[in-house]
Structure 1
Amino acid sequence: MSSSNITANWSYPTSVKLGRGRIKELADACKSLGIKKPLLITDRGLASMAITKNALDILEDAGLGRAIFADVDPNPNEKNLEAGVKAFKDGGHDGVVAFGGGSGLDLGKCVAFMAGQTRPVWDFEDIGDWWTRANLEGIAPIVAVPTTAGTGSEVGRASVITNSVTHVKKIIFHPKFLPGVVISDPELTVGMPKIITAGTGMDAFAHCLEAYSSPFYHPMSAGIALEGMRLVKEFLPRAYREGTDLEARANMMAAAAMGAVAFQKGLGAIHALSHPIGAVYNTHHGMTNAVVMPAVLRFNRKAIEEKIGRAAAYLGISGGFDGFYDYVLKLRSDLGVPETLTAMGIASDRIDELSAMAIEDPSAGGNPVAMTLENTKTLFRDCF
């Protein structure tokens, strides 16, 4: 389908309503989940924007109120979460509209989850069967409304929450984190600044690339990741050049969702490095992924060369691994991505600390080359 009028209804991995103007279905989405008094959760930057006011108007016109919580940091932490849960309880809310980019979506989902729990959030980290500790009856329904195209959190069963004391990002997981309804309206993304379009788009690409490269066996995810990379290759440069290109915006929303579905196969060193950098320096997650991506490709080359060669052929890139690597460099350049962590404003004096955090990150286990403290220090140095 090649037009700006892309419209689709998907039931995989949840109910997804994709298309221009579909934000108008927000109230109906809430009602379909039994939500009568939703709390819209978003970040501070979006709180005063017209798209957010419009969403609140839609809820209010349907008799669902216009409650909003926006005390959300770019990398949400447990303090944001505690404040959000308090607002949810104090307002007598019965569901959440998670609205925004990764931060608003992640915190919104986590508030809905934690509203009925008695344990601290860290007891639900994505470790073994810790998710079974949750009180199922205490989990509120969620409608997710992404306003960027990158994280894919709208179709994810987890949230990333930063510990404000240790500065470590933790993945909080439960199957019920998956929103009951997703509204992906490309018109909500046209106002993204170029730098956010680039960063979020490269996040989607990183999800697809790392899922595809992961050594774990999951052919379904590998196929989704491969097509996700193709969509990014075709449509991210268009969305970056012309923000009002709704065909490009819609396809990037699809690619973002595909990346998040695919990475159940695994992530890797790109995310293992970017998580501690983001936690310590508060950098944009997707842009950080883009900065470290070439170094990680070099680091993993021997383990992924053949696989990347197949991907390159599918993507219409000649030259196998080298051609793919050159494509990544050009894409970064075209999108204005800093070439190194130094250019991003990160100092190299905390490599030991960052490396120790990286090898403990859950993403490290999915890297095609085993990450040790020593080789991770070398990898970090290669990013500066």
Structure 2
Amino acid sequence: MSLRGNWRIPTEILAGAGRVAELPGRVKAAGIARVLLVTDPGVAGLPFIAGIIESLKAAGIEPALFKDLHPDPLHADVMAGAAAYKAHGAEAVIAVGGGSGLDCGKSIALAVSTSKPLWDFEITLAGPELDRPMPPIFAVPTTAGTGSEVGRASVVIDPAKQRKYILLHAQMLPRLVILDPELTYGLPASITAWTGMDALAHSLEAYYATFFHPVADGIALEGMRLVKENLLTAVTEPRNETARMNMLAAASMGATAFQKALGAIHALAHPIGARFHAHHGLTNAVLMPYVLVFNRPVCEAKIAQAAQALGIENGFDGFLAWVIGLREQLNIPHTLAALKVTPDALEALAEEAVLDPNTPDNPRIADKADYLRILQAAMSGVFTGLEA
């Protein structure tokens, strides 16, 4: 392994209960008078959104609300948001919500900065120059999973191709992030569980990726520890401030760590989400043990180190058992069949996973045949043969 790397650490973060109240002052201090507030339809109806809008107005800032987006943002959602941004004469984007609201808001900021097709900014390509500076982005997550608030990328679906595109630009990194646990108290138990497992997948895949990035490794280990010690409590005690705050931290840490890399869990989850509209965190959770077993020949020692650091006995086997046990406690299904994935789609899913930009970073080389084996195992619920 080469001891060389390019490392990026995220932006300013305000963490703690009630800190969303500081948002208007920060926006005003940046000299911004008009903003587009982007969120999804479910979050848009929650009382705190009305509170944010009123507090912005009280600070002399004129907000426009854009909420017409899908659970996985479509290209059309982003372009409609860009039109709303321009019509309002906005100078910045405030993205509020889970991954959909955050990714759509960041993508809108990208769209209003370029005349080029959004797909030109796919992560697998050397992105073109912007036509104009990207507007500032303020990010306020309401779920603890994607970590999109500290990322330079967004995920947008092209329905015509049934494909998720990962868009990337350095300026998509939000200027300010607010992690306020009070905004997550109303999350359903299932969404808390699924997004929490997404955070775990981020830290896990970043940790065992083979690039030299000890900073990311340390962040990933702590992110996994926070999930281990807080996710179940956040699910069973939804207004537990400590658990909720720690899960928000774990989500941001997972996304910080995966500046290093992701891998096969995400490479497989992306086409499944695009074709079957399965929740991304839930899909990651279902796939996680199967990919772990597939990767075991090359990452057993690294996972054993993680197990020791997390207080899990029996090395790799103990870590795998912990993951499976955690899924059971969170009522996460064991097979992809529960996500309505159909056997006739497996070959196409394997082909698309090979093309996913996360595939080259998986610690074990995976081709179409390997991905097909993983998918078949995840359909049947049997791990036999995956290590071969």
* TM-score, structure 2 normalization: 0.94
The list of structure 1 runs, each at least 4 consecutive aligned residues, that deviate by more than 6 angstroms after superposition, is none
Amino acid at match of 1:49: L
- Give deviations 1:89-145, integer Å, cap 9, x for gaps: 011111100000000000101111211211010111113431x4223x341111100
- Give deviations 1:210-258, integer Å, cap 9, x for gaps: 0001111111111110110001000111101100000000011111000
Which of the numbers 125, 130, 134 marks the counterpart of 2:130? 134
C-alpha distance in 2, partners of 1:280/1:263?
A: 24
SS at match of 1:145: strand
Deviation at 1:12, TM superposition (A): 5.5
Deviation at 1:343, TM superposition (A): 1.7
SS at match of 1:35: coil
- What is the correspondence of 1:30-49 to structure 2 with a 5 Å cutoff? 30-49=27-46
SS at match of 1:96: strand
* TM-score, structure 1 normalization: 0.95
Amino acid at match of 1:313: Q
2:90 paired residue number? 93
Which of the numbers 78, 81, 85 marks the counterpart of 2:78? 81
SS at match of 1:362: coil
The answer to which of 29-38 and 192-201 deviates more is 29-38
The answer to which of 145-154 and 29-38 deviates more is 29-38
1:26 paired residue number? 23
Q: Is 1:193 paired with 2:196? A: no
Deviation at 1:344, TM superposition (A): 2.2
Q: Is 1:172 paired with 2:174? A: no
C-alpha distance in 1, partners of 2:275/2:109?
A: 27
2:213 paired residue number? 218
1:322 paired residue number? 317
- Is contact 2:207-2:216 (8 Å) kept? yes
C-alpha distance in 1, partners of 2:225/2:315?
A: 15
C-alpha distance in 2, partners of 1:41/1:298?
A: 39
Amino acid at match of 1:260: A
SS at match of 1:66: strand
2:50 paired residue number? 53
Percent of residue pairs identical: 48
- Give deviations 1:161-206, integer Å, cap 9, x for gaps: 1112101111111111011011111000011000000011000000
- Is contact 1:162-1:168 (8 Å) kept? yes
Deviation at 1:65, TM superposition (A): 2.2
- Is contact 2:28-2:61 (8 Å) kept? no
- Is contact 2:28-2:59 (8 Å) kept? no
- How many residue pairs match? The answer is 372
Amino acid at match of 2:104: L
Which of the numbers 257, 263, 270 marks the counterpart of 2:265? 270
2:384 paired residue number? none
C-alpha distance in 1, partners of 2:319/2:108?
A: 40
Which of the numbers 279, 288, 297 marks the counterpart of 2:283? 288
- Is contact 1:197-1:240 (8 Å) kept? yes
List runs of 5+ in structure 1 lacking aligned partners.
1-10
The 1:12/1:361 distance shift into structure 2, 3 A limit, reads closer
